[in-house]
Amino acid sequence: MSAGNAPSQIDVRSAESMIDLFDSVAQQILDDPRRTGSVIDLPAEGRVLIAGDLHDHQINFQKTLKLANLDGNGVDYLIVQEMVHSDRLVNHLDLSYRILAEVADLTRRYGGRVIQLMSNHELSQVMGENIAKHSGSCTEAFDLGLDFVFGDDAEAVRESIARYVKALPLAVRGGNGVFMAHSIPYPRRRERFDKTVIDRVPTHEDLKGPGGSAHLLVWGRNLTQDWADELSEAWGVEQFVLGHQAADMGYETYGDTMLVLESDHQHGAVVLFDLAKRYTRAELIEQIYPLAAVLLEQ
């Protein structure tokens, strides 16, 4: 049972169940009436909780769900990113497809109140691009996990996961001018980046690395204020809340309008803010909530 939410009924060991889940939620995401291109626009009202990279950190994910309290007097919108590729492998197998399925199930059950952002790890997994971390190849371990659990049906599950990931939005834009995405492109790649990629559902060329514009968006680091200002003007936003980059104390700041979250370690943090209020970066920092402060029932 997820803390603060009704229990899930999905069977993560059933290929049929996984394929139905990922395919139905992919279509739900594409049909979202709030969506234009690859951006979901939220109104200037309601409360948002956004987490940084989670990487199958189950304790911090459960704390995030408890804080969101979707079944009670909690937030109106929960936004998560980078769910897959755990450092905690089981016999060299990555079983983080299960947390991806849990998020998809939450999206289906809560009618779009739960939104997953497209992130570089999920994108690389479904595009066949290797990502290596200290535990080895993340993408290979994920594939081995699917093969172990689903056997002859693994490829069909893999294809349904790919359809789901490719349907994910690149960003969520609040009516208060806060733009939430996994990242923004490297400043040095600005000449190659098509800012209008957010105005369409990404094509295969957009998603493909190293030069596709959706690929560039989710892989960006070394952010500069002049580049953020250029994107702010193009996209009609004022503040950026991002992930992707290391934040040892749960958050880092870049320039005057960029806040980066990381939620997958003991100092992991989230941000909870009101869409009816406009924020400076300093004011957004005041809305940061350390996950260590959230207690789970024993």
Decide if 10 is inside a domain. no
Decide if 189 is inside a domain. no
pLDDT surpassing 70 at residue 216: yes
Decide if 211 is inside a domain. no
pLDDT for position 291: 98
Hey, is 265 helix, strand or coil?
A: coil
Q: Which two tokens stand for residue 19?
A: 């394929």
Report the percentage of the chain scoring pLDDT > 90.
Answer: 92
Decide if 120 is inside a domain. yes
Decide if 221 is inside a domain. no
Beta strands in the chain, from DSSP E residues, in sequence order:
35-36, 39-41, 47-53, 77-81, 114-117, 132-133, 136-137, 171-173, 178-181, 239-242, 251-254, 258-261, 269-274, 288-290
pLDDT for position 1: 40
Hey, is 142 helix, strand or coil?
A: helix
Q: What is the pLDDT of residues 94-106, one digit of tens each?
A: 999 999 999 999 9
Give the residue with greater pLDDT, 134 vs 12. 12
**Burial label, 142 (beta-carbon count in 10 A; 0-12, 13-18, 19+):** buried
pLDDT for position 4: 53
CA nearest neighbour of 168 among 30, 275, 9, 6:
30
pLDDT for position 298: 59
pLDDT surpassing 90 at residue 2: no
pLDDT surpassing 90 at residue 281: yes
Cβ-contact 291, 263 below 8 angstroms: yes
Per-residue pLDDT averaged across 193-209, rounded? Answer: 98
pLDDT for position 257: 98
Q: Which two tokens stand for residue 131?
A: 């990502």
Cβ-contact 196, 203 below 8 angstroms: no
pLDDT for position 238: 98
Q: What is the pLDDT of residues 255-273, one digit of tens each?
A: 999 999 999 999 999 999 9
Here the CATH number for the domain that contains residue 163 is: 3.60.21.10
pLDDT for position 106: 98
Residues with Cβ within 8 Å of 288's Cβ and at least 6 positions away in sequence, in order, are: 250, 251, 269, 270, 271
Decide if 229 is inside a domain. no
Name beta bridge partners: 39. 36, 171
Domain count, the chain: 1
Per-residue pLDDT averaged across 87-93, rounded? Answer: 89
Per-residue pLDDT averaged across 2-13, rounded? Answer: 73
Cβ-contact 94, 66 below 8 angstroms: no
Q: How confident is the model at residue 9 (pLDDT cuts 50, 70, 90)?
A: confident
If one counts every other C-beta atom within 10 angstroms of the C-beta of residue 187, the result is 17
Q: How confident is the model at residue 87 (pLDDT cuts 50, 70, 90)?
A: confident
State which residues form the domain around 107. Answer: 15-179+240-293
Cβ-contact 170, 38 below 8 angstroms: yes
pLDDT for position 136: 85
If one counts every other C-beta atom within 10 angstroms of the C-beta of residue 66, the result is 20
Decide if 165 is inside a domain. yes
Per-residue pLDDT averaged across 45-73, rounded? Answer: 97
Mean pLDDT of the chain, nearest integer:
95
pLDDT surpassing 50 at residue 170: yes
